[in-house]
Amino acid sequence: MNLWISAVGQGLLYGVLGIGLFITFRILDFPDMTVEGTFPFGAAVAVSAITHGVSPIIATLLAMVAGMLAGLCTGLLATKGHMPLLIAGILTMTGLYSINLRVMGRANLSLLNQANLFTSKLLGGMSMFTSSVVVGVIVTVIVVVLLILFLNTEIGQGFIAAGDNRVMARSLGINPDSMQVLGLVVGNGLIGLSGGLIAQNNGYADVSMGTGVIVIGLASIIIGEVIFGNLTLSQRLVAVVLGSIIYRFVILIVLKLGFNADDLKLISAIVLALAIIVPQIDERLHLRKALKNGVKMDE
Amino acid sequence: MSDVQLQLTDIAVNVMAGSDVKNLLSGINLTVNKGDFVTIIGTNGAGKSTLFNTICGDLLATSGTIELAGERVEKDSPEKRARHIARVFQDPKMGTAPRMTVSENLALAMHRGKRLGLRSRALKQKQAEFLRISKQTPNGIDQALDKPTEELSGGQRQALSLLMATMQKPDLLMLDEHTAALDPHTSKAIMELTDKIVRENDLTCMMITHQMDDAIKYGNRLIVVDAGHIVADYSAEDKAKLNQADLLKYFA
């Protein structure tokens, strides 16, 4: 039972990563590779801060600020440096590897015997599994509510428009480059926050913990879209979090079936590939069926 | 107060084509007065769209000055010039945000050229106004306020683009072959709507078209662009005497 509760908790915490990626991947419509550097950056900053005596809440906020700075770096490289976003993201991600080593002073930093957000007295001595769900729910609700409020403001609407149609946005006086930087800052801030939370939940930060997180984020987004179908933008944010929890269940089931934990990244990639391919096959089959029925009716 | 709404002085636009310099526009001097409706014709590649891009700021003039509603704007970004200019593009997909609803698109257009803030978009409060505006169109946009614009037809999208461009009364409305991608029936309806909106709001307007009859029928002035120059400028009186054959000589 604890494993299932833990999967919900991890799903919620990774859901914040999914929402961060959703902002760039779905709203602004470009792939942001910074994610794989930002996630361990948030983890490294949070764990290092805690080991230096900073309170876990402040350390978690610092992880978010670190992520925002990484997003700002990618944004400025892309807009002021006039380079493709993919390259800008890869450059920041690569640079962050060294920065993460500097922040932690080594490749892996443990939180052994250190208080963290999940062992906080405020949670009244809950088990680590339950506290991950409680913290996950609180953080997710705050993030989703704030984002929905933001997306419904004038600037939030300009932000969506810039991702939807750059030419139109410019003709209305909206600077799409500024919106791109804003999206990268907010998105990577959330990814840094998720990294900081996951590191505290796992009890350590590792310089390689970013490898493959973009697949986890994309899987959350796509599983949410496949299962919940056509939704409003606000509802889609919730679907990303639910998609992240479902993804954790799928991984848990796969591991329970006896697969080796070393194969987890391969399994993650296969889960994402299936989530993208299966609905396409389903759609083609439905179309074929509909066409067949149509021909019969004519006859 | 001056009657001049747009003043182009000695505008030249040069670009590098391999190792050569290509003159896209040269020696452009043009004054457009308040309330003028200028139609623009010319062959493909003559420089009509380059002229529009230069006025809008998508292309920076190599030399010369651009004055819009009394302000020098030749160094301003397109976003900054949007305070003065509204543009409707040839491609109906270019003027609207496809995943946003018609209402959301109209709400954005209400803020054209203004600084966006953290105020609520307040869509519900604006719904009656959107309904009133969209009822002007001949193709049922008022029935589709809650639909994403990607679900609209090309004609509906272009009518919406036109509404979005004119709802805040721009200093200069620029129509870039905005009916070219539409079927003849829809094209006629959009052109009539354009003329109605321009007249009712006393807008200053420039319109590129390949339809000679539209170029003659609409507006009070007609200019011909060829090889990056303005080669003819007909006033309302001269224009009234023109027929299509007179204009076809510029396309020989």
Q: Are B145 and B102 in contact (CB under 8 A)?
A: yes
Please tell me the predicted confidence (pLDDT) of residue B2.
Answer: 61
Under CATH, domain B4-251 is a member of which superfamily?
P-loop containing nucleotide triphosphate hydrolases (3.40.50.300)
Position A240 in a domain? no
Kindly list the residues from chain B whose CB atom is less than 8 angstroms away from the CB atom of residue A168.
94-97
Q: Is the Cβ pair A175, B112 closer than 8 Å? A: no
Taking 80 as the threshold, does the pLDDT of residue A259 lie above it? yes
Determine the residue of chain B that is closest to A174 in CA distance.
Answer: B79
How would DSSP label each residue in A80-127? TS---HHHHHHHHHHHHHHHHHHHHSSSEEE-TT---GGG-GGGTT--
Taking 90 as the threshold, does the pLDDT of residue A103 lie above it? yes
Q: Give the distance from residue A169's alpha carbon to the nearest chain B alpha carbon, in angstroms.
A: 8
Quote the CA–CA distance of A239 and A224 in Å, as a whole number. Answer: 5
Domain count, chain A: 1
Position A159 in a domain? yes
Mean pLDDT of A56-71: 97
Among chain B, residues having any CB pair with chain A shorter than 8 Å are 56, 77-80, 82-83, 86-87, 89, 93-100, 104-105, 107-109, 111-114, 116-121, 164
- pTM for the model stands at 0.89
Determine the residue of chain B that is closest to A177 in CA distance.
Answer: B79
Amino acid sitting at position A129: F
A18–chain B Cβ distance below 8 A for any pair = no
Position A11 in a domain? yes
Taking 50 as the threshold, does the pLDDT of residue A299 lie above it? no
Taking 90 as the threshold, does the pLDDT of residue A206 lie above it? yes
Please tell me the predicted confidence (pLDDT) of residue A126.
Answer: 79
Written as tens digits, the pLDDT of chain B (252 aa) is: 468 999 999 999 999 888 888 899 999 999 999 999 999 999 998 999 999 999 999 999 999 999 999 999 999 999 999 999 999 999 999 999 999 999 999 999 999 988 888 888 888 888 999 999 999 888 889 999 999 999 999 999 999 999 999 999 999 999 999 999 999 999 999 999 999 999 999 999 999 999 999 999 999 999 999 999 999 999 999 988 888 888 888 887
Position A69 in a domain? yes
Residue ranges per structural domain of chain B: 4-251
Highest mean pLDDT among A123-127, A284-288, B117-121: B117-121
Position A122 in a domain? yes
Position A274 in a domain? no
Q: What does DSSP assign to residue A153?
A: B
Quote the CA–CA distance of A230 and A225 in Å, as a whole number. Answer: 7
Q: Is the Cβ pair A172, B108 closer than 8 Å? A: yes
Q: Are B68 and B85 in contact (CB under 8 A)?
A: yes
User: CB-CB: which of A150, A158, A167 is closest to B108?
Assistant: A158
Q: Are A272 and A219 in contact (CB under 8 A)?
A: yes
Kindly list the residues from chain B whose CB atom is less than 8 angstroms away from the CB atom of residue A150.
118
Q: Give the distance from residue B178's alpha carbon to the nearest chain A alpha carbon, in angstroms.
A: 14
Mean pLDDT of A24-29: 92
Taking 50 as the threshold, does the pLDDT of residue A298 lie above it? no
Quote the CA–CA distance of A148 and A16 in Å, as a whole number. Answer: 14
Which residues span the domain enclosing A123?
2-210
Confidence band for A112, pLDDT divided at 50, 70 and 90? confident
Mean pLDDT of A86-112: 96
Please tell me the predicted confidence (pLDDT) of residue A295.
Answer: 58
Determine the residue of chain B that is closest to A163 in CA distance.
Answer: B97
Q: Is the Cβ pair A164, B97 closer than 8 Å? A: yes
Quote the CA–CA distance of A222 and A94 in Å, as a whole number. Answer: 26
User: Which residues, numbered 179 to 198 in chain A, qualify as contacts with chain B under a Cβ-Cβ cut-off of 8 Å?
Assistant: none
User: CB-CB: which of A153, A155, A165 is closest to B98?
Assistant: A165
Taking 80 as the threshold, does the pLDDT of residue A296 lie above it? no
Please tell me the predicted confidence (pLDDT) of residue B131.
Answer: 93
